[in-house]
Amino acid sequence: MKKLGFTVFLLVLSMVFVTYVFSAGQAEAKREIPDKLVIGSLEPLTGAHAVFGSEAKLGTEIAVRHINEAGGIKSLGGVKLEVAAEDCGENADTAKLGAESLISKHKPIAIVGLYISRLTVAASEVTEREKVILMVDALVDSVTEMGRRYLFRPGPKASQHGKSAVEFVLGASKKSGTNIQRVAILNEDSAFGRSNAMGATESAITNGLTIVYQREYPYDISDVSSIINDIAAAKPDFVVHCPYFMDAILFANTFKESGKIPKFISGMGACGYTDPESINALGTTAEYYSNTFSYNPAKDTAQNRKFVEDFRKETGHIPTEAGGMDYYITWTLKEALELSGRLFPDDPLNPDNIRKAFLQLDLQSGPAVDTFPTNRITFTETGDNPHARAVILQVINGEPKVVWPFDTAETTAVFPRPDTTY
399 binds other proteins (CB under 8 A): no
Burial of 315 from C-beta contacts in 10 A (0-12 / 13-18 / 19+):
middle
215 binds other proteins (CB under 8 A): yes
Distance CA(327)–CA(388), nearest Å, equals 15
217 binds other proteins (CB under 8 A): yes
Shortest spacing between CB 137 and other proteins, in angstroms: 17
Residues 103-132, one symbol each (x = binds other proteins by CB under 8 A, - = not), give: ------------------------------
Shortest spacing between CB 199 and other proteins, in angstroms: 12
Nearest to 52 by CA among 323, 399, 324, 327: 323
23 binds other proteins (CB under 8 A): no
258 binds other proteins (CB under 8 A): yes
Among 225, 360, 411, 421, binds other proteins (CB under 8 A): 225
- CA pseudo-torsion sign 80, 347, 110, 379: negative
Distance CA(154)–CA(134), nearest Å, equals 11
Distance of CA 245 to the CA centre of its chain: 16
Binding segment for other proteins (CB under 8 A), chosen from 78-86, 253-261, 377-385, 404-412, is: 253-261
Binding segment for other proteins (CB under 8 A), chosen from 31-39, 48-56, 357-365, 391-399, is: 48-56
Strand order in the sheet with 80-87: 80-87, 36-43, 110-113, 133-136, 151-152
Binding segment for other proteins (CB under 8 A), chosen from 16-24, 65-73, 277-285, 345-353, is: 277-285
Q: Report DSSP letters for 86-130, one per residue.
A: EE--SSHHHHHHHHHHHHHHH--SEEEE-SSHHHHHHHHHHHHHH
Q: Which residues contact 140 (CB under 8 A, 6 or more apart)?
A: 117, 118, 120, 157, 158, 191, 192, 195
Q: Which residues contact 209 (CB under 8 A, 6 or more apart)?
A: 166, 170, 180, 181, 182, 183
212 binds other proteins (CB under 8 A): yes
| Residue 5 and residue 74 in contact, taking contact as beta carbons nearer than 8 Å | no
421 binds other proteins (CB under 8 A): no
Binding segment for other proteins (CB under 8 A), chosen from 149-157, 224-232, 335-343, 402-410, is: 224-232
Distance CA(402)–CA(410), nearest Å, equals 5
Among 69, 82, 93, 257, binds other proteins (CB under 8 A): 257
Binding segment for other proteins (CB under 8 A), chosen from 106-114, 166-174, 210-218, 299-307, is: 210-218
359 binds other proteins (CB under 8 A): no
Q: Which residues contact 124 (CB under 8 A, 6 or more apart)?
A: 134, 136, 143, 146, 148, 151
Binding segment for other proteins (CB under 8 A), chosen from 80-88, 155-163, 219-227, 375-383, is: 219-227
221 binds other proteins (CB under 8 A): yes
Under DSSP, is residue 341 helix (H, G, I), strand (E, B) or coil? helix
Shortest spacing between CB 341 and other proteins, in angstroms: 38
Binding segment for other proteins (CB under 8 A), chosen from 79-87, 156-164, 250-258, 332-340, is: 250-258
Nearer to other proteins, 179 or 222 (CB): 222
Within 278-317, the residues that bind other proteins by CB under 8 A are 278, 280-285
| Residue 326 and residue 66 in contact, taking contact as beta carbons nearer than 8 Å | no
Of the chain, the end-to-end C-alpha distance in Å amounts to: 103
Among 109, 116, 240, 250, binds other proteins (CB under 8 A): 250
Binding site for other proteins (CB under 8 A): 46-51, 54, 185, 187, 189, 194, 197-198, 201, 211-218, 220-223, 225-227, 229-230, 233-235, 245-246, 249-250, 253-254, 256-260, 277-278, 280-285
